[in-house]
Structure 1
Amino acid sequence: MNKQIIEKVRENTPLIHHLTNQVVMNFTANGLLSFGAAPVMAKAEEEAADMASTADGVLLNIGTLTPNELKAMISAGKAANQKDIPVVLDPVGVAATSFRADAVKQLLNKVRPTVIKGNAGELAHLIDIPWKTKGVDSVGDGNIEEITRQVARTYQTTAILTGKTDVICTSETTIVNKTGHPILAKVTGAGCLLGSLLAACLTTDDSIEEQALTAVQFYGLAAEYAASYEDVQASGTFIPHFIDALSLDAEFLKGAIV
Structure 2
Amino acid sequence: MSDQDQVASLLARLRQETPLVQCITNSVVTGFTANVLLALGAAPAMVDNREEAPVFAGVADGVLINLGTLDAEVAETMQLTAAAAGAAGTPWVLDPVAVGGLPLRDRVGAALVPLRPSVIRGNASEVISLSGADGGGRGVDSTASTEAASDAATSLARRTGGAVAVSGPVDRVVDGSGTRTVANGTPMMTKVTGVGCALGAMVAAFAPYAETPAEAAFAATAVLTIAAELADEKSDGPGTFAVQLLDALHRVGPAELTRLRR
User: 3-state SS of the aligned residue for 1:247?
Assistant: helix
Report the equivalent of 1:64: 69
Give the structure-2-normalised TM-score.
Answer: 0.92
* Deviation per residue, 1:101-143 (Å, 9 max, x gap): 011112224x220011100000000223333221121123462
Matches within 5 A, 1:216-231: 216-229=221-234
Report the equivalent of 1:103: 108
Report the equivalent of 2:43: 38
What is the CA-CA distance between 1:151 and the residue it aligns to?
2.2
Q: Answer whether contact 2:184 2:260 (CA < 8 A) is retained.
A: no
What is the CA-CA distance between 1:256 and the residue it aligns to?
6.7
* Deviation per residue, 1:158-187 (Å, 9 max, x gap): 111011111111111211111111100111
Report the equivalent of 2:83: 78
CA RMSD of aligned residues (A): 1.7
Matches within 5 A, 1:69-148: 69-109=74-114, 111-141=115-145, 143-148=148-153
* Deviation per residue, 1:35-63 (Å, 9 max, x gap): 00000011110111111111111100010
What is the CA-CA distance between 1:153 and the residue it aligns to?
2.1
Q: Answer whether contact 1:168 1:213 (CA < 8 A) is retained.
A: yes
Quick one: which amino acid aligns to residue 178 of structure 1?
Answer: A
Query: Is 1:18 paired with 2:23?
Result: yes
Aligned pair count reads 255
Quick one: which amino acid aligns to residue 119 of structure 1?
Answer: N
Report the equivalent of 2:241: 238
User: 3-state SS of the aligned residue for 1:161?
Assistant: strand
Quick one: which amino acid aligns to residue 233 of structure 1?
Answer: D
Q: What percent identity do the matched residue pairs reach?
A: 34
Give the structure-1-normalised TM-score.
Answer: 0.93
CA distance in 2, matches of 1:80, 1:73: 10
CA distance in 1, matches of 2:154, 2:244: 34
Q: Answer whether contact 1:144 1:167 (CA < 8 A) is retained.
A: no
| Gapped regions of structure 2 (runs ≥ 5) | none
CA distance in 2, matches of 1:208, 1:108: 15
| Gapped regions of structure 1 (runs ≥ 5) | none
Quick one: which amino acid aligns to residue 69 of structure 1?
Answer: V
Report the equivalent of 1:190: 195
Q: Answer whether contact 1:123 1:148 (CA < 8 A) is retained.
A: yes
What is the CA-CA distance between 1:234 and the residue it aligns to?
1.6
Report the equivalent of 1:177: 182
What is the CA-CA distance between 1:205 and the residue it aligns to?
4.6
After TM superposition, where is structure 1 displaced by more than 6 Å over at least 4 residues in a row? Answer: none
Q: Answer whether contact 2:125 2:149 (CA < 8 A) is retained.
A: no
Quick one: which amino acid aligns to residue 72 of structure 2?
Answer: P
Distance 1:51 1:68, change over 3 A: same
